[in-house]
Amino acid sequence: MNSPFASSRSYLFALILTGICSGAAHAINPLASLAFFGLTIKAFFKPLLGTDNSRGTAYENMWQQYYQKNADLTNNAENLAEFFTNALENNTSLANHLTTTSDFMFGLSSSHYQIEGGIGQECACHDFYEKNNKALPGRACDFWNKYEIFIQDLRYCGAKTFRMSISWERVYPYGPDNPDFTALAHYRKIIQALKNADIEPIIVLHHYTVPTWFAEMGGFENKRNITFFVDFAQTVYIELHDLVRYWSTFNAIEGYAFKGYYTGNGAPGKKGDLQKTADVMGNMLLAHAHTYKALKNIYEKKYKNSGSPEPLIGIQKNIFPLDPYPYHNPIASIACEVGNMLQNEGFYGFFSTGTFELYVPLKVYSYRFHKNAPHCLDWIGVNAYAFKKRLKNGTFKIDKALETNNENYHFCPEVLARATEQIYNRIVVPVSHAQNRTTELPILITENGIAAKNDEQRTLFFQRALFTIGTMIDDGYPIIAYTPWASHDNFEWGADLGTKRYGMFEVDFDNLEACYAKRPEQRLKKGSMFFKNFVHAFYQTNKKIVSA
């Protein structure tokens, strides 16, 4: 085994370089430069003091032992459902969130651009893909027209909730002053059909796309444009207020911002602009806070006594743990700390203190403040995936044994535990304290899944994912929903249709009519049978949760 001090020269070089950068930037922003220097010192001393900074590896090894020890439990859907039910019953912190254990929301996820079909150049994402010769969704799954078949599939799978998004570009295709009420009426028809099937909708207002007119005005780069998103949110809420309880403003602000302004893989296709990446994230968080206040005000003034549910408004956070390899490598350690800071710290700071602040010497300084931000959450959504790459000296180590059919992610159901812990410590605890809540802010696991290489891999993934969530609930975490990605195979952001198949149900994109003519049990993948059997077994039990 290599000594943690084997890289001492690298440590010294990195320390000197960081000191020079922070010192040069100190005159520009003293407090932020000191904070950044502290972050890099933390990265140095974690491995030197024996702190395990390869937390992903540690978690994977620990959970592998859990999985092996509990193989008989995880391999049996009925036994696992009973374990999950007992975990909910034992978690007394959920008493005010769930009346019975069967109120836990098992369901599936989707997003409009990836399933609806028929979205064109009115969408900035579509326009970007078309101009850059990237794959387009075309009809995608044709959910816009075939939603009733989707709902049949959801019912067959036993789902009690469906996370779906509303296309801003469908509702406002031509500008900020001309909503398409026909599109709104169609969304209402879809959501009414879900409610008729006893499926609770979770409505997302932004899932990685914006109207082309909004992008041409500078999009979320410009703080003044926030009002357009708030207007859209209010329009949708007024149309659907009586049907929808759970609302999400944004699915993963960091995913949208980094794709559009750093990697260049999404609209508007800018590369390497960390400053705009940070500014976009900060402005989206402000948009969340303004939207939260606007929807709550509408409810209080118009709908509170109408029998409509109070809107429960949250936001979703992508958790992609970054770990150095090996853990004592200083360059990789600093890179991971900076990466985690850019992805997460501004978000956590905004909701815990009201302050969004990101700083990298000579590269980025972004600051936003909203005094009521800690009071602008009714729930927090967790999207949990794991990169199959570990950072090593600016390159990546690939673990081929854990490969899936998405080259960016590896087989890692245990990431759910790590993501839940992080969200709990950085969001649930401080926000619950700020709001003086009698029960903790609830967590919805709104995305997690696998583009499986085969049915066996998919089965094993969900056996272990469900066990992991049940274990976290048994440990007291306030989780009230699990809606894995995705309900159906769909368009995966610039990739050819059918190349990355996350769906519980298979879709034949070359012949949608023949595909949808089949019965749900014929479309359900063999690798999805365990999830379906588990959910059905779970809802057969209805036990009251006893308060402490």
Task: Name the pairing type of β-strands 395-398 and 389-392.
Answer: antiparallel
Q: Supply the pLDDT for residue 90.
A: 95
| Continuous segment of H or E residues that includes residue 22 | helix 8-26
Bridge partner list, 380: 315, 443
Cα(283)–Cα(169) distance, integer angstroms: 19
Residue ranges of domains in the chain, CATH in brackets = 52-538 (3.20.20.80)
Nearest to 220 by CA among 180, 170, 278: 278
Task: Name the pairing type of β-strands 355-360 and 364-369.
Answer: antiparallel
Q: Supply the pLDDT for residue 53.
A: 40
| Distance linking the first and last C-alpha atoms of the chain | 49
Cα(91)–Cα(239) distance, integer angstroms: 36
Cα(398)–Cα(221) distance, integer angstroms: 35
Q: Supply the pLDDT for residue 548.
A: 41
Q: Where are the beta strands (DSSP E) in 263-354?
A: 312-319
Cα(103)–Cα(85) distance, integer angstroms: 11
Sequence-distant (≥ 6) Cβ neighbours of residue 69 within 8 angstroms: none
Q: Return the axis-axis angle of helices 274-298 and 253-261, rounded to nearest 10°.
A: 140
pTM of the model: 0.92
Positions in the chain whose pLDDT score sits under 70: 1-56, 326-328, 388-398, 542-548
Give the model confidence (pLDDT) of 62-97 as tens digits: 999 999 999 999 999 999 999 999 999 999 989 889
